[in-house]
């Protein structure tokens, strides 16, 4: 790698658009495709999606759990998904949501961000809820290898606000502290920092307090776009001036069109055209 993840992502979004395609082999989707819920079905599904979307999408996002459930053979398929997606020109954001401390956190970081690993990708998702310092191994490893990290900040699941909107003894909300941490990590980065936030495309700003400041110098992964209800209008409403840094994530709107590769590829292009209206 010759440039930071933030620089590569900025260039990829400008060239290929702002849609991140989730490659999530749900059992129900395998059945919809007429495939068995086994390793052979997983492989055919996942690699068909890669063939269809990786040449045109800026980012693909495999959810590790759907591969891990098949054991070592499923992880072997995931390794191929990562390698073949990157070979086709897409950046790979591996959705693992890891969060641990010390040497364990470092081992996770090495597994996903060290180029020597068979699962090496461009960026990963992580959880900050063991304390922001627990993310240091990911941050340091990402910097060493020009990788990226997306930190859970404001998710759209209904339970999220229980933790993310909670106020600490110092009067600062948890999500604000996460965003402030990312703001510090991205300070001075141009054109875009490498440390992003996960913010749902369907969240609502709090009615009984100040709005969350989503300008922190890095990219935003916005899951929930498309089939889960998020729209371009929602992205504009939630992110305002920061909408240009939003990577909208969708899976089912594309995957349900398979195994027709042309239809999946056309859906990526159409959604990117839609997202281009954000300016």
Of 26, 86, 97, 269, the catalytic one is 97
Give the up-direction half-sphere exposure of residue 91: CA atoms within 13 A in the CB hemisphere. Answer: 32
Active site includes 61?
no
Element (H or E) spanning 143, and its range?
helix 136-145
Residue 9 in contact with residue 148, Cβ under 8 Å? yes
Q: Which CB contacts under 8 angstroms, 24+ apart, belong to 132-135?
A: 132/177, 132/178, 132/181, 134/99, 134/100, 134/101, 134/105, 135/99, 135/105
Look at the alpha carbons of 162, 164, 165, 171 in this order and tell me if their dihedral is positive or negative.
positive
Strand partners, 230: 225
- Tell me the residue ranges of DSSP E strands in 121-160: 123-126, 148-154
Please give the structure tokens belonging to residue 274: 């839609």
Task: Return the SS3 of 159.
Answer: coil
* Residues in a beta bridge with 154: 199
Name the 3-class secondary structure at 78: helix
Residue closest to 218 by CA, chosen among 180, 255, 250: 180
Catalytic residue numbers, as ranges = 97
């Amino acid at each position: 790698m010759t440039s930071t993840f933030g620089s590569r992502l900025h260039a990829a979004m400008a060239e290929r658009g702002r849609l991140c395609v989730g490659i999530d082999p749900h059992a129900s989707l395998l059945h919809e495709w007429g495939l068995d819920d086994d390793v052979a079905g997983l492989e055919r599904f996942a690699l068909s999606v890669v063939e269809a979307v990786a040449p045109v999408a800026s980012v693909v996002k495999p959810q590790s759990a759907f591969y891990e459930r098949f054991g070592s053979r499923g992880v072997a398929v995931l390794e191929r998904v990562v390698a073949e997606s990157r070979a086709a020109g897409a950046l790979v954001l591996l959705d693992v949501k890891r969060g641990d401390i010390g040497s364990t956190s470092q081992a996770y970081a090495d597994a996903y961000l060290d180029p020597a690993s068979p699962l090496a990708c461009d960026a990963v998702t992580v959880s900050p809820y063991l304390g922001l310092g627990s993310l240091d191994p990911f941050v340091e490893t990402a910097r060493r290898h020009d990788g990226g990290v997306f930190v859970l900040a404001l998710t759209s699941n209904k339970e999220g606000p229980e933790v993310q909107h909670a106020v600490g003894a110092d009067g600062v909300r948890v999500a604000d502290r996460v965003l402030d941490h990312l703001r510090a990590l991205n300070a001075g980065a141009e054109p875009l920092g490498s440390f992003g936030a996960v913010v749902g495309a369907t969240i609502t700003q709090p009615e009984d307090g100040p709005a969350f400041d989503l300008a922190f110098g890095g990219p935003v992964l916005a899951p929930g776009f498309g089939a889960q209800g998020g729209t371009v209008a929602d992205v504009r409403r939630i992110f305002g001036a920061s909408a240009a840094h939003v990577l909208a994530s969708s899976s089912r709107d594309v995957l349900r069109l398979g195994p027709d590769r042309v239809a999946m590829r056309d859906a990526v292009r159409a959604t990117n055209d839609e997202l281009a209206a954000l300016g």
